[in-house]
């Protein structure tokens, strides 16, 4: 399955871009990043793709549950999942209504450039969980 991040705004050369790239390169599934202007521009075609819209009003999920969702969609034959990150003003109501999932990193508002890095890390973590890689350490306590 293709994991496709569709983000408003240009990230350029920045610490957030480096961190995003670092995680995306570690994912053994196909990945793509599409940047759109802050306003306007056309979203990529969503023919058969699942869409997850990042929104502070969305559902906060444990990493293991997020991984299960992606694994289920992969197993059902979904070819692409698009992760939509908005600009400062968020997404249109129409887009949020049409999404397969509104996904949240919590009730706080996060800078959209930082959301890319956070999403890339969660995608890497989800793929690691699904492959049995030891990166994810849920339930373990430090000592």
Query: Which is nearest to 52 in space by CA: 112, 95, 107, 19?
Result: 95
Judge residue 35's burial from the number of C-beta atoms within 10 Å of its C-beta, 0-12 exposed, 13-18 middle, 19 or more buried: middle
86 is in an annotated binding site: yes
Q: What confidence score (pLDDT) does residue 143 get? A: 45
Q: Any idea where the domains of the chain sit in the sequence?
A: 2-131
pTM for the model: 0.92
- The Cα 58–Cα 103 span in angstroms is 4
Rounded average pLDDT over 71-83: 98
CATH code, 2-131: 3.40.1280.10
Residue 116 has pLDDT above 60, yes or no: yes
Q: Could you report the per-residue pLDDT of 46-62, keeping only the tens digit for each?
A: 999 999 999 999 999 99
Residue 79 has pLDDT above 90, yes or no: yes
- The Cα 85–Cα 9 span in angstroms is 9
């Amino acid at each position: 399955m293709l994991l496709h991040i569709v983000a408003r705004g240009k990230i350029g050369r920045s610490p957030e871009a480096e961190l995003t790239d670092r995680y995306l390169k570690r994912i053994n599934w196909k990945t793509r990043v599409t940047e759109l202007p802050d306003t306007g521009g056309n979203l990529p075609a969503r023919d058969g793709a699942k869409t997850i819209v990042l929104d502070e009003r969305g559902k906060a999920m444990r990493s293991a549950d997020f991984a299960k969702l992606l694994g289920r969609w992969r197993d059902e034959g979904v070819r692409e999942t698009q992760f939509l990150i908005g600009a400062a003003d968020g997404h249109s109501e129409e887009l949020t209504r049409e999404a397969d999932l509104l996904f949240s990193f919590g009730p706080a508002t996060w800078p959209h450039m930082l959301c890319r890095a956070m999403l890339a890390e969660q995608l890497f973590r989800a793929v690691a969980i699904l492959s049995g890689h030891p990166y994810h350490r849920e339930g373990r306590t430090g000592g």
